[in-house]
Structure 1
Amino acid sequence: MELEKISKVHIALLLVVTIIFIWSVIKPVSYLDWLAEVSPGVVILIIVIATYNKFRFTTLSYFIIAILSILTFIGGHYTYSEVPFFNWIQDEFDLQRNNYDRFGHFLKGLSAILIRELLLRKTQLTRGAWLFGITVSIVLAVAALYEIIEWASTKINGGEEATKDFLGMQGDQWDAQWDMTLALIGSILALLLFSKLHDKLLRESGK
């Protein structure tokens, strides 16, 4: 019965993500930027759905996948530098930039829980300092890889101006460093705040 209940939660999460995805594809600012932004999230969702019966994450992990997917779809629809609510925050508090991309990179630190679960269930690592350190290192490595991909896109498309909406640098030469730092901070906080809950869910599901 518990498995049935959890499955309904997973279905509800998938339904919400699907609705946001459909909304995001309707008249985005740029279909090319939309495709560039949402493609990684869509690929991950396809993998998660395709392997659902063979490898079922905890519900906490599925909530995180849903949050990060929605975050990506919103950014793809408006572009990361023009999300309306964060434009309002920028104007209201007289900030120098729209910080949706910074907020997004910080929240991507939540992926540390997904990586932690994979490491605990698929490797010989056990709970402790090594698991914490390796998990944080993987999150940071993924964040760095994404920045390299962004940099490569400027070379392929003819410079920063051609891909400003995709990059979302907004004139900040240290944007890549900020993004990686925020992902690092987010991953550390995610592990500190959610590891005990994650362990409890793993035990309850017999994993």
Structure 2
Amino acid sequence: MRKQVYSKTHLFLLLTVITGLIWSAIKPANYLTWVLEVSPAVVGVIIVIATYRRFQLTTLSYAIIAILAISMFIGGHYIYSKVPLFNWMKETFHWQRNHYDRFGHLLKGLFAIVLREMVLRKTPLPKGGWLTTIVLSMSLAIAALYEIIEWLVGTLAKQGKAVKDFLGTQGDTWDTQWDMLLCFVGSILALLLLTNVHDKLLKK
């Protein structure tokens, strides 16, 4: 019975992600930017679907993947630097930039829980300091790889408008470093706040 409940929950999450993808594809700010922004999320969801029967994750991990995918769909639809809610916050709090990009990278730290689950289930590494260190290192490495991919896209595409929107630096020289730092901080917070819940779900 429990397995059936989880399956329905997973299906709900998948349908939510698909709905978000369809919505984001309807008249986005720029179609090329949209493709660049949502592609990683779409590839990730396809991998999750393809491996579902062989390696089923906890509902918490699937929920995190869904949240991250939808956050990328929102960024792709509006362009990260122009997400309406954060434009309003920019004007209200007199910020120098739209911080949706910063928020998105902090949110990506949640993926540390998914990485933790993979390491625990696929390696003999026990819970403890080394597990935390390795998961944080993996999370930071993925964040750095994403920034390298952004740099490569920007270099190969010769800095067109769509690519400039994709990079979303908003004139900040240290934008890349901020993105990696926020993902790292988000990973630490995710492990601190969600580890106990994650362990309970792993036991089930």
TM-score by length of 1: 0.96
Report the CA distance between 1:180 and its aligned residue: 0.3
| Aligned residue in 2 for 1:128 | 128
- In structure 1, the residue matched to 2:78 is 78
Instruction: Work out the CA distance in 2 between the residues paired with 1:160 and 1:130.
Output: 43
Matches within 5 A, 1:192-203: 192-203=192-203
User: Counterpart in 1 of 2:154?
Assistant: 154
Structure 1 consecutive aligned stretches of length 4 or more whose deviation exceeds 4 Å? none
- Structure 2 residue aligned with 1:182: 182
Which amino acid counterpart does residue 175 of structure 2 have in structure 1? D
- Separation in structure 2 between the aligned mates of residue 69 and residue 162 of structure 1, nearest angstrom: 20
Alignment of 1:1-207 (within 5 A): 1-159=1-159, 163-204=163-204
Query: For residue 36 of structure 2, what is the amino acid of its counterpart?
Result: A
Q: Give how far 1:153 is off.
A: 1.6
Deviation at 1:161, TM superposition (A): 5.6
Deviations 1:78-131 (A, max 9, x none): 111110100000011110000000000000000000000000000111100000
Secondary structure of residue in 2 paired with 1:107:
helix
Structure 2 unaligned runs (5+)? none
Decide whether the 8 Å contact of 2:32 with 2:162 is kept in 1. no
Q: Spell out, residue by residue over 1:125-153, the C-alpha distance to the aligned partner (whole angstroms, 9 max, x if none).
A: 11000000000000000000111111112
Partner Cα distance (2:162, 2:38) in 1: 18
- Cα-Cα RMSD: 1.0
Question: Following the alignment from structure 1 to structure 2, what is the Cα–Cα distance between the partners of residues 124 and 73?
Answer: 36
CA distance in 1, matches of 2:38, 2:140: 20
- Look up the equivalent residue of 1:131 and give its one-letter code: L
CA contact (8 A) 2:143 2:180 kept: yes
String of CA shifts for 1:36-88, please: whole Å, max 9, x gaps: 11111101100101111111000000110010000010001011111010000
Superposed displacement of residue 171, structure 1:
0.4
Q: How far, CA to CA, are the matches of 1:159 and 1:65 in structure 2?
A: 30
In the TM superposition, what is the alpha-carbon distance from 1:34 to its structure 2 partner?
A: 0.5
Identity %: 60
**CA offset at residue 162 of structure 1?**
5.9
**Offset of residue 159 of structure 1:** 3.3
Scaled by the length of structure 2, the TM-score of the pair is: 0.98
Aligned length: 204
Task: Give, in whole Å, the separation in 2 of the partners of 1:162 and 1:43.
Answer: 20
The 3-state SS of whatever aligns with 2:125 is: coil
Letter of the 2:3 counterpart? L
